[in-house]
Amino acid sequence: MFSWYREVSRTERRTFWACFGGWALDALDVQMFSLVIPAIIAEWGISKTDAGLVSAVTLIASAMGGWICGAAADRYGRVRVLQITVIWFSLFTLLSAFSQNFPQFIVLKALQGFGFGGEWAAGAVLMAETIRNQHRGKAMGAVQSAWAVGWAAAVLLYTVVFSTMSPQLGWRFMFALGILPGLLVIYVRRNVPEPLRESTVRAIQEDRPSIRKIPLLSIFAPDVLRMTLIGGLLGVGAHGGYAALTTWLPTFLKTERHLSVLGTGGYLAVIIFAFFCGCLAASQLLDRIGRRGTILFFAVCCVITVLVYIFLPLSNAAMLVLGFPLGFFAAGIPASMGALFNELYPQGTRGTGVGFCYNFGRVVSAGFPVMVGHLAAKHSLGFAIGVDAAFAYAIVVISVLLLPETSGRVLTEETAA
């Protein structure tokens, strides 16, 4: 599974670990919020709606960060923007620990989200242009598995901190640790070179004045407009299906199926481990059966798994077992999108395109949980989740069928050192 790692150069390996570390530390910071929500609600006396507003604002800010910082990466370089976004993200996570009231906290979380979205866009393009063509899918899928590593670290950290500190102090201490990703910049500055030649970027910009004048709008130029529209639609389906499941499935299992397993650490451990394995599986399939085949496989399996969850009578034991395929298949699509989106765009617009397609889907996906709630008012919650998730993953299937197969596409004129 990891034989490809021995074939790549030192530069490729260092870039891989820089992006892996950044994504894991980002996941650590992001997942911390979901764990400390009860402590924040108790300290400031806010409602659950207010707490949900924090997530929504952070999501929108991260989408804007991905689009804007992706354009900046096209203009100023992948490595430079990656360093800036990591420092930005770390700084505002740290400052969140010193919030004196809820308005301050939500502003700081929005700024944190902006850096988070920007970091993914710059890092994804950096990885795609550094790793050689035949191993790009494996490397980028494996990097996505770092999210599970950071998620698990957040759970462990939460367990240790909240068993030794009061909730009022514990949540602030956890956010203060958000400065840790900033240390990654030291490694990046010393070990990760810029993969894109500035002369190439300038040549592209001279040929296409719209890129030079309005970088954010370059992805709507006639030659790439179709890729942008379909890529954005793919992002909507992928994120929409995931949002519908993760938002409402716990409520469904507790209220309609009366299962208690979801509140156990064992179930969470299964889901995290399954997500990790799903990313690694996708990394292997991407270079074996192609980008389209991999995404189609995981999308169809997601629909089947959701239907099993909702329409078959399951015990607590069965739910624990089936938690693995749920996490496994849910991981495969986001693990595949980085490679596909990068290969859809030319160098001068790649960062902008990747940042837009991935993050546009994240914003629009916020509407899918709302649709579940609306449909559940007239039908059962299980029916609503099944219809909503099936609709989202149908969008994925249609979108990917409209896109070309991009496996092995050359992204840069330079070869790895």
Three-state SS letters, 316-359: HHHHHHHHHHHHHHHHHHHHHHHHHHHHHCCHHHHHHHHHHHHH
pLDDT tens-digit readout, 93-140 = 899 999 999 899 999 999 998 988 888 888 888 888 888 888 888 888
Rounded CA-CA distance 28/272 in Å is 13
The token pair that represents 184 in the structure block: 């990654």
Question: Is the pLDDT reported for residue 374 higher than 90?
Answer: no
pTM of the model: 0.80
272 with 157, same domain?
no
Q: Are 306 and 322 in contact (CB under 8 A)?
A: no
Q: Considering the domain boundaries, does residue 273 fall inside one? A: yes
147 with 226, same domain?
no
Rounded CA-CA distance 77/104 in Å is 32
22 with 166, same domain?
yes
pLDDT tens-digit readout, 300-334 = 998 888 788 777 777 767 777 777 888 899 888 88
Task: Report the first-to-last Cα separation within the chain, whole angstroms.
Answer: 23
CATH for 255: 1.20.1250.20
Average of per-residue pLDDT across 340-367: 84
pLDDT tens-digit readout, 8-50 = 888 888 888 888 888 888 788 777 887 888 888 888 888 767 7
Q: Are 174 and 158 in contact (CB under 8 A)?
A: yes
> Can you give the pLDDT at residue 24?
87
Q: Considering the domain boundaries, does residue 3 fall inside one? A: no
- The boundaries of the domain holding residue 283 are 220-407
Angle (CA) 74-78-82 rounded to 5° is 125
**Count of structural domains, the chain:** 2
Q: Considering the domain boundaries, does residue 207 fall inside one? A: no
14 with 147, same domain?
yes
Q: Which pLDDT band, with edges at 50, 70 and 90, does 253 fall under?
A: low
Question: Is the pLDDT reported for residue 203 higher than 60?
Answer: no
127 with 248, same domain?
no
Q: Considering the domain boundaries, does residue 412 fall inside one? A: no
- The rounded percent of the chain whose pLDDT value lies above 90 is 12
> Can you give the pLDDT at residue 413?
45
3-state DSSP call for residue 391?
helix
146 with 19, same domain?
yes
